[in-house]
Amino acid sequence: MKYADKLLPREKVFRDPVHNYIYVQNQVIADLIDTPEFQRLRRVKQLGTTSFTFHGAEHSRFGHCLGVYEITRRICNNFQKNYPTKKAGDGLWDQSDRLVALCAALLHDIGHGAYSHTFEHIFKTDHEAITREIITSNQTAVNHILKQVSPDFPEKVASVIKKTYQNPQVVQMISSQCDADRMDYLLRDSYYTGTNYGDFDLNRILRIMRPYKNGICFESNGMHSVEDYIIGRFQMYQQVYFHPVSRSMECVLDRLLARAKHLYQHHPKTNGLHADLLEPFFNHQFNLEDYLELDDGVLNTYFISWKHHAKDKILRDLAHRFIDRRPFASVKYNQQTKSEIPKMRKLIKAAGFDTNYYTTTNNSFDLPYDIYYPNKKNVSGINLKRPDGSLVELSTVSSLVNAITDKLQGDQRFFFPKEMLECGDKVEIFQPLYQKFQQHIKNNTIIKKRG
Amino acid sequence: MKYADKLLPREKVFRDPVHNYIYVQNQVIADLIDTPEFQRLRRVKQLGTTSFTFHGAEHSRFGHCLGVYEITRRICNNFQKNYPTKKAGDGLWDQSDRLVALCAALLHDIGHGAYSHTFEHIFKTDHEAITREIITSNQTAVNHILKQVSPDFPEKVASVIKKTYQNPQVVQMISSQCDADRMDYLLRDSYYTGTNYGDFDLNRILRIMRPYKNGICFESNGMHSVEDYIIGRFQMYQQVYFHPVSRSMECVLDRLLARAKHLYQHHPKTNGLHADLLEPFFNHQFNLEDYLELDDGVLNTYFISWKHHAKDKILRDLAHRFIDRRPFASVKYNQQTKSEIPKMRKLIKAAGFDTNYYTTTNNSFDLPYDIYYPNKKNVSGINLKRPDGSLVELSTVSSLVNAITDKLQGDQRFFFPKEMLECGDKVEIFQPLYQKFQQHIKNNTIIKKRG
Amino acid sequence: MKYADKLLPREKVFRDPVHNYIYVQNQVIADLIDTPEFQRLRRVKQLGTTSFTFHGAEHSRFGHCLGVYEITRRICNNFQKNYPTKKAGDGLWDQSDRLVALCAALLHDIGHGAYSHTFEHIFKTDHEAITREIITSNQTAVNHILKQVSPDFPEKVASVIKKTYQNPQVVQMISSQCDADRMDYLLRDSYYTGTNYGDFDLNRILRIMRPYKNGICFESNGMHSVEDYIIGRFQMYQQVYFHPVSRSMECVLDRLLARAKHLYQHHPKTNGLHADLLEPFFNHQFNLEDYLELDDGVLNTYFISWKHHAKDKILRDLAHRFIDRRPFASVKYNQQTKSEIPKMRKLIKAAGFDTNYYTTTNNSFDLPYDIYYPNKKNVSGINLKRPDGSLVELSTVSSLVNAITDKLQGDQRFFFPKEMLECGDKVEIFQPLYQKFQQHIKNNTIIKKRG
Amino acid sequence: MKYADKLLPREKVFRDPVHNYIYVQNQVIADLIDTPEFQRLRRVKQLGTTSFTFHGAEHSRFGHCLGVYEITRRICNNFQKNYPTKKAGDGLWDQSDRLVALCAALLHDIGHGAYSHTFEHIFKTDHEAITREIITSNQTAVNHILKQVSPDFPEKVASVIKKTYQNPQVVQMISSQCDADRMDYLLRDSYYTGTNYGDFDLNRILRIMRPYKNGICFESNGMHSVEDYIIGRFQMYQQVYFHPVSRSMECVLDRLLARAKHLYQHHPKTNGLHADLLEPFFNHQFNLEDYLELDDGVLNTYFISWKHHAKDKILRDLAHRFIDRRPFASVKYNQQTKSEIPKMRKLIKAAGFDTNYYTTTNNSFDLPYDIYYPNKKNVSGINLKRPDGSLVELSTVSSLVNAITDKLQGDQRFFFPKEMLECGDKVEIFQPLYQKFQQHIKNNTIIKKRG
Query: How many beta-carbon pairs below 8 A join chains A and D?
Result: 10
Check pLDDT > 60 for residue A231. yes
Instruction: Give the nearest partner residue to B21 out of C20, C21, C203, using CB atoms.
Output: C203
Whether the CB-CB separation of C295 and C308 falls below 8 Å is answered with no
Contacts with A58 from chain B: Cβ below 8 Å: 42, 58-60, 63
pLDDT tens, residue by residue, B280-331:
999 889 999 999 999 999 999 999 999 998 999 999 999 999 999 999 999 9
Q: Which residues pair with A330 in a beta bridge?
A: A415
Nearest Cα residue in chain A from D20: A203
pLDDT value, residue D367? 41
What are the structural domains of chain B?
A: 3-242+369-404 (1.10.3210.10), 244-366+417-446 (1.20.1250.30)
pLDDT value, residue A376? 57
Q: Cα angle vertex C224, ends C221, C225, to 5°?
A: 100
pLDDT value, residue A425? 54
Whether the CB-CB separation of A208 and A384 falls below 8 Å is answered with no
Q: Which residues pair with D414 in a beta bridge?
A: D331, D361
| Number of CB atoms found within 10 A of residue D374's CB | 18
Contacts with C231 from chain A: Cβ below 8 Å: 231, 400
Q: How confident is the model at residue B368 (pLDDT cuts 50, 70, 90)?
A: very low
B111 vs B126: CA distance, rounded Å: 8
Check pLDDT > 80 for residue A338. yes
Which of D304, D307, D418 best probes binding to C when mutated, by most C CB atoms within 10 angstroms? D304
pLDDT value, residue C388? 85
The residue-averaged pLDDT of A218-236 equals: 90
Contacts with B60 from chain A: Cβ below 8 Å: 58
- Indicate the helix (H) or strand (E) that contains C221: none
Q: CB B56 to CB A54 under 8 A?
A: no
C238 vs A440: CA distance, rounded Å: 46
Distances in whole angstroms, Cα of residue C410 to Cα of each of B77, C190, C404, C416: 48, 19, 12, 19
Integer distance in angstroms from the first to the last C-alpha of chain C? Answer: 82
Whether the CB-CB separation of D351 and D420 falls below 8 Å is answered with yes
User: Is B296 within 8 Å of chain A by CB?
Assistant: yes
C385 vs A433: CA distance, rounded Å: 30
Strands A215-219 and A383-385, by their bridges, are parallel
Q: Which residues contact C370 (CB under 8 A, 6 or more apart)?
A: C379
pLDDT value, residue A427? 56
User: Is B238 within 8 Å of chain D by CB?
Assistant: yes
C227 vs C204: CA distance, rounded Å: 12
pLDDT tens, residue by residue, C213-241:
999 999 998 898 999 999 888 889 888 99
Closest among D201, D207, D243 to D52, alpha carbons compared: D243
User: Is D309 within 8 Å of chain C by CB?
Assistant: no
User: Is C8 within 8 Å of chain B by CB?
Assistant: no
A27 vs C99: CA distance, rounded Å: 66
Distances in whole angstroms, Cα of residue D96 to Cα of each of B297, C144, D100: 57, 66, 8
Average pLDDT by stretches of 10, chain D with 451 residues: 91 94 97 98 96 97 98 97 93 97 98 90 92 97 98 98 96 94 96 88 94 95 90 88 94 96 90 89 92 96 94 96 97 93 96 96 62 58 89 87 72 94 68 89 85 52
Closest among A280, A297, A71, A26 to A182, alpha carbons compared: A71
pLDDT value, residue D408? 59
Exposure string for A363-374, b = 16+ CB within 10 A, e = fewer? ebeeeebebbeb
For B47: left if phi > 0, alpha if psi spans -120 to 50, otherwise beta; the answer is alpha
Contacts with B34 from chain A: Cβ below 8 Å: 324-325
User: Is D62 within 8 Å of chain C by CB?
Assistant: yes
| Contact map slice: B 204-223 vs C, CB within 8 A | 204, 207
Q: Please tell me whether residue B213 adopts helix, strand or coil conformation.
A: coil
Q: How confident is the model at residue B374 (pLDDT cuts 50, 70, 90)?
A: low
User: Is B20 within 8 Å of chain C by CB?
Assistant: yes
Instruction: Give the nearest partner residue to D203 out of A21, A203, A207, using CB atoms.
Output: A21
Q: CB C51 to CB D39 under 8 A?
A: no
Q: CB A51 to CB B43 under 8 A?
A: no
Query: Which ipTM score applies to this complex?
Result: 0.94
User: Is D356 within 8 Å of chain C by CB?
Assistant: no
Q: Is C225 exposed, middle or buried (0-12, 13-18, 19+ CB in 10 A)?
A: buried
Whether the CB-CB separation of A162 and A134 falls below 8 Å is answered with no
C169 vs D193: CA distance, rounded Å: 33
Contacts with A60 from chain B: Cβ below 8 Å: 58
User: What is the spatial order of strands in the sheet that D412-416 belongs to?
Assistant: D360-363, D412-416, D329-333, D445-446, D441-442
Q: CB B308 to CB A300 under 8 A?
A: no
Closest among B38, B33, B169, B151 to B97, alpha carbons compared: B169
CA of C407 vs chain A CAs: smallest distance (Å): 10
| Contact map slice: D 387-406 vs B, CB within 8 A | 387-388, 399-400, 402-404
Nearest Cα residue in chain D from B401: D400
- Indicate the helix (H) or strand (E) that contains C11: strand C7-16
| Number of CB atoms found within 10 A of residue C337's CB | 18
Q: CB D207 to CB A20 under 8 A?
A: no
Q: CB D231 to CB B231 under 8 A?
A: yes
pLDDT value, residue C375? 54
D96 vs D84: CA distance, rounded Å: 11
Contacts with A194 from chain B: Cβ below 8 Å: 15-18, 20
Nearest Cα residue in chain A from B17: A194
User: Is C129 within 8 Å of chain B by CB?
Assistant: no
Whether the CB-CB separation of D288 and D133 falls below 8 Å is answered with yes
Q: How confident is the model at residue B388 (pLDDT cuts 50, 70, 90)?
A: confident
| Number of CB atoms found within 10 A of residue B27's CB | 18
Contacts with B203 from chain C: Cβ below 8 Å: 20-21
Q: How confident is the model at residue B273 (pLDDT cuts 50, 70, 90)?
A: confident
Alpha helices in D283-323 (DSSP H): 288-292, 296-309, 313-323
Q: How confident is the model at residue B409 (pLDDT cuts 50, 70, 90)?
A: low
Q: CB A199 to CB C199 under 8 A?
A: yes
Contacts with B20 from chain C: Cβ below 8 Å: 203
**Least confident residue range of A366-380, B390-404, D189-203:** A366-380
pLDDT value, residue A400? 81
Q: What is the pTM of this model?
A: 0.92
Q: CB D201 to CB B224 under 8 A?
A: no
Which of B54, B208, B226, B235 best probes binding to D when mutated, by most D CB atoms within 10 angstroms? B235
Closest among B22, B117, B110, B135 to B69, alpha carbons compared: B22
| Number of CB atoms found within 10 A of residue D389's CB | 7
C239, C240, C242, C247 alpha-carbon torsion, rounded to 10°: 130
pLDDT tens, residue by residue, A285-335:
999 999 999 999 999 999 999 999 899 999 999 999 999 999 999 999 999
| Chain mean pLDDT for chain B | 91
Nearest Cα residue in chain D from C43: D297
Nearest Cα residue in chain A from C203: A195
pLDDT value, residue B369? 40
- Indicate the helix (H) or strand (E) that contains D158: helix D153-161
pLDDT tens, residue by residue, C355-404:
999 999 988 764 434 556 555 555 578 999 988 889 999 988 887 888 77
Integer distance in angstroms from the first to the last C-alpha of chain D? Answer: 82
Q: Is B213 exposed, middle or buried (0-12, 13-18, 19+ CB in 10 A)?
A: exposed
Q: How confident is the model at residue B395 (pLDDT cuts 50, 70, 90)?
A: confident
pLDDT tens, residue by residue, C316-337:
999 999 999 999 999 999 999 9
pLDDT value, residue C273? 87
pLDDT value, residue D366? 47
Q: How confident is the model at residue A369 (pLDDT cuts 50, 70, 90)?
A: very low
Q: How far is CA C352 from the centre of its chain?
A: 35
Contacts with A203 from chain D: Cβ below 8 Å: 20-21
C274: amino acid identity, one letter: H
Contacts with C13 from chain B: Cβ below 8 Å: 207
pLDDT value, residue C377? 56
pLDDT value, residue B367? 41
Which of A324, A421, A422, A423 best probes binding to B when mutated, by most B CB atoms within 10 angstroms? A324
The residue-averaged pLDDT of C160-185 equals: 95
pLDDT value, residue C444? 87
Give all chains having 3 or more CB-to-CB distances under 8 Å with chain D. Answer: A, B, C
Contacts with D17 from chain C: Cβ below 8 Å: 56, 191-194
Nearest Cα residue in chain B from A59: B58
User: What is the spatial order of strands in the sheet that C209-212 belongs to?
Assistant: C209-212, C215-219, C383-385, C391-393
